[in-house]
Structure 1
Amino acid sequence: MPAAATLIAASVALLSGCSGLSTAGTVAADQPAGTHDVGVQLFQWNWDSIARECTDTLGPNGIAWVLASPPNEHVTGPEWWTSYQPVSYRVESRLGTREQFESMVSTCHEAGVDVLADAVVNHMTGRDEPGVGWAGSRHGHYDYPGLYSDAAGDFHHCGRGEGDDIANYRAAFDVQSCELVNLADLATETPHVRKTITAYLADLLSLGVDGFRIDAAKHIPAADLAAILAPLPPDAYVVQEVIRGSREAVQPEMYTGNGDVFEFGFARELEGMVESGTMSVSEGFGEDWGFLPGRIARTFVDNHDTERNGETLNYTDGAQYVLANVLTLALPYGSPVLYSGYAFSAGDDGPAQDASGRVQDADCGTVGPEVSHSDGDWVCQHRWDAIAGMVSWRSAVGDAPLENSWTRGDAYAFSRGERGFVAMNAGDEPLTRRFQTGLAAGRYCDVVTGGGTPTAAEACSGGSVEVAADGTARVTVPPGGAVALHVGARLS
């Protein structure tokens, strides 16, 4: 792997301020320069930490929205996945109280950042024995007093796989009526279950959230989900987790009528091209590859599941991870969602918690692909210089078309109209050549090495590139690295 040090940068505050999305999910292809479409998942960050991050970093950095982990009461335990096993719909969890959640949303709005809540509505818990949830609610596997009961027909029992688990992903019935790893599967076709879920989502909207990530949407029939969402305000943003699987019965295209959808195919193919050093194949990367239409596709490098199951790159991949984020933020296809989590050794490891089980405040400290982490350390990928710099780059180029494309096996370069230029090198040797950048003549600061504030006292805090009168520039791209220039990072 090329040395991660080639991607070191110095700052994380971006040039442009943030205007929170009035219609979250607007894609880059529809935007003029200066607007924002990038979200970030702050996985398992508590509410007070998200509030501070909105004020100190996300708002100033031009991030459009933040995805908060599930806010509902859940089963107890140190593992990360306890947050994804609801006990009740009380907004009380190890991440904070209802009051802290509402305060966080308000603070983020003041910083110009919208807030999405991770909504777990396909299922309840996966524990066979009765228990008590985080906020004291008693429950059984199929009994949640005041919410759902087996006797009332609120759960599916498909009778297919062992213990009613999904046995065949090529059968839509199995996927949507059987249990996902023993999680009590809600009968979302019934009026009572639909009404109860809708009431929960409406309660979150009353606390100020701007929309939802629908967890495990693939396991809920699209028509059921549409019925659940229909009573909500039409401006509530929805992005759905529908994992694309070859020859499976349930595909992401079935859900586009409900809102945006995460394009898992993008993340998987991205890993392959970066790891294999075949950047040239990324020309046309997007709809031409059979992915979702860009206007409703949410792209990503990794999320909390894929960084654990190994199907995508993650923070431990260092320079390759950075390069993948650069390409994702540079392309006009879809709208990117950044990921920011914590270091772990075992896949079940949860975030750092105090003696009572409450998640401790996030502390980013020193950040970057070259930093070594101990289990529980907050990695804060969204603050890495190259990633932060490319968020400002994306805002600067807006809806400018992809032009001046150049490829060479392990390298790929292009301009976005007259607003920005990027060159990426997945090879093991430096790449030096003269590129057509599309930019006006002048000296530009590289936002990959300079971060979101690449200029300081009329000098570049990172590397710099001189663009000639004909728009060309001689650029050296380090191995496993990138160079990115934009109109907002031009020295006067």
Structure 2
Amino acid sequence: MFLTKSLVCLAILAIANAQFNTNYAAGRSGMVHLFEWKWDDIAAECENFLGPKGYAGIQVSPVNENAVKDGRPWWERYQPISYKLTTRSGNEQQFASMVRRCNNVGVRTYVDVVFNHMSADGGTYGTGGSTASPSTKSYPAVPFSSLDFNPTCGISNYNDANQVRNCELVGLRDLNQGNSYVRDKVVEFLDHLIDLGVAGFRVDAAKHMWPADLGVIYGRLKNLNTGHGFASGSKAYIVQEVIDMGGEAISKSEYTGLGAVTEFRHSDSIGKCFRGKDKLTYMSNWGTGWGFAASDRSLVFVDNHDNQRGHGAGGADVLTYKVPKQYKMASAFMLAHPFGTPRVMSSFSFDDTDQGPPTTDGQNIASPTFNSDKSCGGGWVCEHRWRQIYNMVAFRNAAADAALQNWWSNGSNQVAFSRGNRAFVAFNNDNYDLNSSLQTGLPGGTYCDVISGEKSGSSCTGKSVTVGSDGRANINISSSAADGVVAIHVNAKL
């Protein structure tokens, strides 16, 4: 009996450990959330930009049929009608082609999956032509009936774990993941995506589901598709949306044995630091010392599609594209620092927090346009195409697994550190200039600052930094500079 139990425990441990592996192609890092992009546009972006720039993965908006809501708000994507792969982003054939094309250039796909609930009242017609009756909990295109849902009740008390997990989040019909038929349908949906070549999932509203039920669902999933370049026996990377800022009944630690979590404390804390509410010097122990989950359990981000709109966690401290200098600095810190699995946000511009993506006619999503400096137009922000961000993905790739060393601070808001002898970065968030001789850890030579420009042949389109034979360099960042960062690495040596 003991042996059997031990083997079961080992099997569960093996599954869990596999679920923390991002399944990235070698030498790549950085996931980008291409929020509300169309599948054909993502496929082209993988080939034309993300692959060549060293990005490792994409998080895509929900792929399954959702309720069509008046005004086409972004959040209609989080109101499922069925598990048919038809949305405003495209159909199943387009999605399958996108995953294949992205995998072919080393960029993995992570799907935002919504199986805590189905659509709320009013969500009667779907993007794939299916109909539903949320008021009677009837979703014939799955099919789900009232037998598959928890009783109707609202969530009013986040200190009551039963209510948070068994009642309805903002009126969304709450599926019972303890029901074997519901589990079957969810596993069937996720396995189908695995067959199509995805590398993992962001599990929406995981906090609203029982960890034991999720454990059963994850444990039943197929191995990744070796026909898409995954190693035999690979498991889907799972990152669970669990907002845990402390002080509630539900803790992220209930989920970190199952997969990674969305570490909202990282977003909140990095926003406070680069908005000047906390000093950068305090970031010397960045990581679990700040209350974050373990590094391999933490998906980290500056902002996400919810909290850039004031939903979720972080409030007014969250940095977004609307505060570009500090946003780029925070993003550079996240990508330079070894902690966590970073995800870059790629937004569309908005004024109204319900506003959906740019369209051609109020219904169909418009494709982004591209400017000569690689930035986007047509209502798309494309932070992942900002030089200060994509060049820091290359910095992270150059740093690889080198440890954080040579931490320096002026005791206030000027800090610097190296990643071993491979990369070095410095930040100035003070209202006076940084002008210091700092230990970079790098071999002597002249390097291109990848924030102000990039290496082009044997020259640099931006500033260059000279490192002496002792590894030291004079680092200058004016308080009025367009960018408060200087970054150099071995692949940007002239």
Q: Secondary structure at the match of 2:285?
A: coil
Q: Is the 8 A contact 1:74 1:87 kept in 2?
A: yes
- Partner amino acid for 1:345? D
Structure 2 residue 490 is the aligned partner of structure 1 residue 487: yes
Aligned counterpart, 2:186: 197
Task: Report if aligned partners of 1:166, 1:179 keep a CA contact under 8 Å in 2.
Answer: yes
Deviation at residue 208 of structure 1 after TM alignment: 1.7
In the alignment, the residues of structure 2 paired with residue 279 and residue 129 of structure 1 have an alpha-carbon distance, to the nearest angstrom, of 47
In structure 1, what residue type is equivalent to 2:414? A
The match for 1:210 among 199, 203, 207 is 199
Alignment match, 2:432: 429
Classify the secondary structure of the residue corresponding to 1:205.
Answer: helix
Is 2:258 the counterpart of 1:258? yes
**Equivalent residue number for residue 443 of structure 1:** 446
User: Superposition pairs for residues 132-147 of structure 1, below 5 Å?
Assistant: 132-141=125-134, 142-147=137-142
SS of structure 1 residue aligned to 2:436: strand
Other structure's SS at 1:316 match = coil
> Retained in 1: the 8 A contact 2:40–2:94?
yes
Aligned residue pairs: how many? 452
> Following TM superposition, by how much is the alpha carbon of 1:26 offset from its aligned partner in structure 2, in angstroms?
4.4
2: distance between equivalents of 1:365 and 1:466?
Answer: 32
Q: Hey, what does 1:7 align to over in structure 2?
A: none
Match of 2:349 among 343, 347, 364: 343
The reply to whether residue 412 of structure 1 matches residue 415 of structure 2 is yes
Give me the whole-angstrom Cα distance separating, in 2, the residues matched to 1:355 and 1:132.
19
2:39 is aligned to 47
How far residue 146 of structure 1 moved from its aligned partner, in angstroms, is: 4.6
Q: Following the alignment from structure 2 to structure 1, what is the Cα–Cα distance between the partners of residues 282 and 296?
A: 22
How much does 1:24 deviate? 8.5
Report the Cα distance in structure 2 between the residues aligned to 1:204 and 1:420, rounded to whole angstroms. Answer: 37
SS in 2 for 1:298: strand
1:95 aligns with 2:89: yes
Q: 1:362 and 1:399 mapped to 2: Cα distance? A: 34
For structure 1, which segment, 105-114 or 472-481, has the greater mean C-alpha deviation from structure 2 after superposition? 472-481
Q: Which residue of 2 aligns with 1:242?
A: 242
Q: Does 1:396 align with 2:398?
A: yes
- Which of 219, 223, 232 aligns to 2:212? It is 223
Q: Out of 313, 320, 345, which is 2:319 matched to?
A: 313
| Runs of 5+ consecutive residues of structure 2 not aligned to the other structure | 1-17, 224-234
CA drift of 1:315 comes to 0.3
C-alpha separation in 1, matches of 2:374 and 2:326: 13
Q: Residues 48-79 of structure 1: CA distance to partner in whole angstroms, max 9, x if unpaired?
A: 11000000111111111111110111111310
**Alignment check: 8 A CA contact 2:62 2:77 kept:** yes
The code of the aligned residue for 2:268 comes to R
RMSD of Structure 2 on Structure 1 (CA): 2.1
Cα gap change, 1:130 to 1:260, in 2 (>3 Å): closer
Alignment of 1:149-168 (within 5 A): 149-152=144-147, 154-157=148-151, 164-168=153-157
Aligned counterparts of 2:478 and 2:269: Cα–Cα separation in 1: 23
Q: Quote the residue 1:5 is aligned against.
A: none
Give the conservation status (yes or no) of the 8 Å contact 2:448–2:455: yes
Contact 2:358 2:380 in 1 (8 A): no
Distance between the aligned counterparts of 1:253 and 1:364, measured in 2? 42
Give the C-alpha shift of residue 151 in structure 1.
3.6
Write the distance in 2 (CA, Å) between the matches of 1:315 and 1:464.
27
Instruction: Give the counterpart letter for 1:400 in structure 2.
Output: A
1:63-142 alignment to 2 at 5 Å?
63-77=55-69, 78-126=72-120, 128-129=121-122, 131-141=124-134, 142=137
Return the offset for 1:112. Answer: 1.0
- Tell me the TM-score normalized by structure 1: 0.88
| Residues 285 and 27 (structure 1), Cα distance of their counterparts in 2 relative to 1, 3 Å cut | farther
Change in 2 beyond 3 A, CA 1:118/1:276: same
One-letter identity of the residue aligned with 1:258: L
Tell me the equivalent position of 2:382. 380
- What is the identity, as a one-letter code, of the residue corresponding to 1:444? Y
The residue number in structure 1 matching 2:280 is 279
Q: Which residue of 1 aligns with 2:360?
A: 354
**Contact 1:94/1:134, CA 8 A, preserved across alignment:** yes
Aligned to 2:226: none
Residue 332 in 1 paired to residue 334 in 2? no
Determine if contact 1:367/1:380 at 8 Å carries over to the other structure.
Answer: no
Residue aligning to 2:3: none
The verdict on how the C-alpha distance between 1:81 and 1:364 changes in structure 2, with shifts beyond 3 A counting, is: farther
Give me the whole-angstrom Cα distance separating, in 2, the residues matched to 1:328 and 1:130.
38
Is the Cα contact below 8 Å between 1:42 and 1:341 reproduced in 2?
A: yes
Alpha-carbon separation, structure 2, partners of 1:421 and 1:83? 40
> How far apart, CA to CA, are the structure 2 residues paired with 1:367 and 1:240?
35
Return the alpha-carbon distance in structure 2 between the equivalents of residues 117 and 413 of structure 1: 35
Contact 1:27-1:334 at 8 Å conserved across structures: no
Structure number with the bigger relative contact order (C-alpha 8 A, sep ≥ 6) is 1
Identity of aligned residues (%): 39
